[in-house]
C-alpha cells in the first residue's frame, strides 16, 4: 500500500489515480499510523513552501515524514513535496524545511521567463539509480518559479536545462524527489513513477522476511 500524505496542499487525486493505474493500492491519508505502516509514501505539493511547512507542523506530519524517511522505506516528494525535503527555502521569506537533504530552494533569477513552464529534457547524472532502470532520457513537464540547490552532488540524480542546469530529480538512500509532476509527464513520467513504486515491493518483501 502506498500512502499519499495529505497535509492540505497537493494534487492528491491525480497522484492517487496514477499510482492505481500502475497497479498499486493507494490511500490518501493524514493518519500517522497508516503512513508509517505503508510500503511507500508520496509527499505531493502545490503552493508556497512556508504554508506547506506550517501545515505539516500543525498536523505533526513533519515528524511523521521524517520518521518515515528514517525507516528506510521508499519515499518520494513531488514538485513542492520535493522542495520540502531540503533544509530551507527563500520563497516569501526564509523557511526551514524537513532537512532530509542538505541544500536550499531559491528563486530563478535572470532575464528569462519565470515561472519555468513547459516540456524539458532530463539528463540522467547517475544512470545507476533504480529510478532510471530501463529508461532513456526524455522530456517531462515543469511548472515552478523556485528550484532546489543540493549541497552534495551525490544527491543530484537528474537535471534539466533552463538557462543553466536545474535540479529535476534528487535522491539519497530511499528518499527521492522529482521537481516535475511524473503523473502529468507522459510515458517517461509514468515510467519514473513506476520505477519508484517497484522499490516499495522490495521494501514490502524485506519487511515480510524480517517478520
Helix 186-210 × helix 12-21 angle, to 10°? 70
- Cα–Cα distances in Å, from 92 out to 48, 49, 96, 106, 185? 8, 8, 12, 10, 28
Q: Which residues are catalytic?
A: 79, 181, 183
Select from 133, 123, 154, 126 the least CA-distant residue to 199: 133
Measured CA to CA, the distance from residue 156 to residue 148 in angstroms comes to 10
Identify the helix (H) or strand (E) that includes residue 17: helix 12-21
Amino acid at each position: 500500500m502506498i500512502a499519499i500524505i495529505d497535509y492540505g496542499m497537493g494534487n492528491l487525486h491525480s497522484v492517487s489515480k496514477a499510482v492505481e493505474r500502475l497497479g498499486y493500492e493507494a490511500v490518501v491519508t493524514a493518519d500517522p499510523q497508516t503512513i508509517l505502516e505503508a510500503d511507500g509514501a508520496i509527499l505531493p505539493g502545490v503552493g508556497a513552501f512556508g504554508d506547506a511547512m506550517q501545515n505539516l507542523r500543525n498536523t505533526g506530519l513533519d515528524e511523521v515524514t521524517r520518521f518515515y524517511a528514517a525507516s528506510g522505506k521508499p519515499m518520494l516528494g513531488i514538485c513542492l513535496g520535493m522542495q520540502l525535503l531540503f533544509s530551507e527555502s527563500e520563497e516569501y521569506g526564509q523557511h526551514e524545511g524537513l532537512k532530509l537533504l542538505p541544500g536550499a530552494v531559491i528563486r530563478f533569477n535572470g532575464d528569462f521567463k519565470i515561472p519555468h513552464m513547459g516540456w524539458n529534457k532530463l539528463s540522467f547524472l547517475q544512470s545507476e539509480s533504480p529510478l532510471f532502470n530501463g529508461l532513456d532520457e526524455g522530456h517531462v513537464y515543469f511548472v515552478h518559479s523556485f528550484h532546489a540547490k543540493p549541497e552534495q552532488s551525490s544527491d543530484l540524480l537528474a537535471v534539466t536545462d533552463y538557462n543553466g542546469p536545474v535540479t529535476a530529480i534528487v535522491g539519497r538512500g530511499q528518499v527521492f524527489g522529482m521537481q516535475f509532476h511524473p503523473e502529468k509527464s507522459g510515458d517517461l513520467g509514468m515510467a519514473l513513477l513506476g520505477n519508484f513504486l517497484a522499490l516499495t515491493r522490495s521494501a514490502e518483501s524485506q519487511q515480510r522476511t524480517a517478520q
